[in-house]
Structure 1
Amino acid sequence: MTGTDSRARGVAPIPAGTLHVRTVYGGVEARPEPGVTIRFGRGQRPGVDVCVGEDDLWVSRRHGELFYRRRRWWLRNTGRQLLRLPRGRLMHATTEPVPLAVGYTPVFVRGSGFREHLVELYVTGHDDERVPRRRAVTLPPRRWPLDDDERLLLVVLGQRYLLYEEVPRPLSYRQAAEQLAYLRPGGDWRERRIEHRIEAVRRRLHAGGFPYPLTHDKSAGGPSGDLLHNLLRGLVESTTLVPPDLELLEDGP
């Protein structure tokens, strides 16, 4: 079969709001009609419509369901293990149903050991044509502007992130100040100055639409270390900081 679209084949176009559910075991398509419910889990028909984790006893036989209500598709966890959504959002069986946005949503079912089972969800939009773009130029990730001192400072603080450790954490400002004093002797690398410099970067990137929270309401409290983690995580994921930047740590006197 060629890659022609549905109009070229004479097939009726897929209506907006249609839900596509797929796992490694197959998938289903559901039209946006009130009362429609799609169930996924380890079980088999008629209990579930889409199988996931068929050999993993940590996956419930009915682990989740999708239903159409108020002109939207909603996701509910009906299993014993958590569901993980984009941006690290977790769903428990007691969590209220979550509405799906138009487009692609990956959902991960927690399994045994380190296993996670993927359920791919896709809701078509009004202008959704899904035209193949195999020859189109690849879009680069959005990289964030940093000056030389900011890059060096962030590489020192985030060197564990650039080593792609499983659960990386930033160096402390004291540790960073000690290493920077060795790498760039004569510079003003006091802990307080480092903290102010990082705060300036956070505020600038936050104003530019950074994908993770970089500021918090001081009246509500909250650890600033989490904001630094968000900053380093976003810079590494966007390839603004990359492993070759670790060579900056070898430029000692």
Structure 2
Amino acid sequence: MTVTAHRPASKVQILPRELGSLAAGLPPAEPGTLFVMGPKGGMRVAPDAGFELVFGRCEPDVHVCVGGADGHVSRLHGRIARENSRWMLYNSGRLAIRLRGAPLLLGGHRTELPPTYTALFIVAPKQEHLLEVRIAAGPGSGYGRYEDPTVDPGLYGLDERQRLVLTCLGQRYLRQEPWPQPLTWDQVADELRALRPREGWNARRAARLVGKLREELNPAVGGGLMEEDVPKPLGNTINHNLVTALLLSATLTVEDLALLDGPPR
């Protein structure tokens, strides 16, 4: 049976996909308002709407579709409901849901969503499917009032060169390719030389820049970015861990792929 929203338009609204990533900010909203965005669009729900948002693979039966072409994702994979002034996430599907800084949310379990931006990943065998969630902050939340300028949810500041190299390194993740891995340093160098031929990029320079950043961020992400943190053989593990941390904190977003599409901005 198709899920419908029997609520006033002011309480529950559809968000067009053209709104873009929730990591970029929110329109003015009452504190506690829930925003959820999938690949095809999303929804906005007021805190007093009394509305339970359902997401999953079956587009006609959910409010926000995610993993629509992946049969491993459950038709009704999860729901988000307001309980005691908190937004709670329920995993109703078989696949785990991954959140930054938290254990995997297994099927049948629930967790409280924080009053900020949260990237949820449904962990399928061949691809992880992103569902963006953001709750408008209110007084006393530590994130400011909803009228205040939007605070960047990314935890880690990147300069222009770091963002360019990391976007290139992690582009397979940003494009949501199956089983993504970081590019090799030679591949990164080739792309950067083609994109910015006057800047003298090579594999060693790109690796040195990222290595320095991993060292700086390692304490903040709780480890996993240095060779001594990871059992051998290393492979791409430390760069994989770095890219994953930047994605989960919304430091890197899909919009960064524009850096690879043309001349320097």
TM-score (ref. length: structure 2): 0.47
The structure, 1 or 2, with the larger RCO (C-alpha pairs under 8 Å, 6+ apart) is 2
Asked which structure has the greater CA Rg, the reply is 1
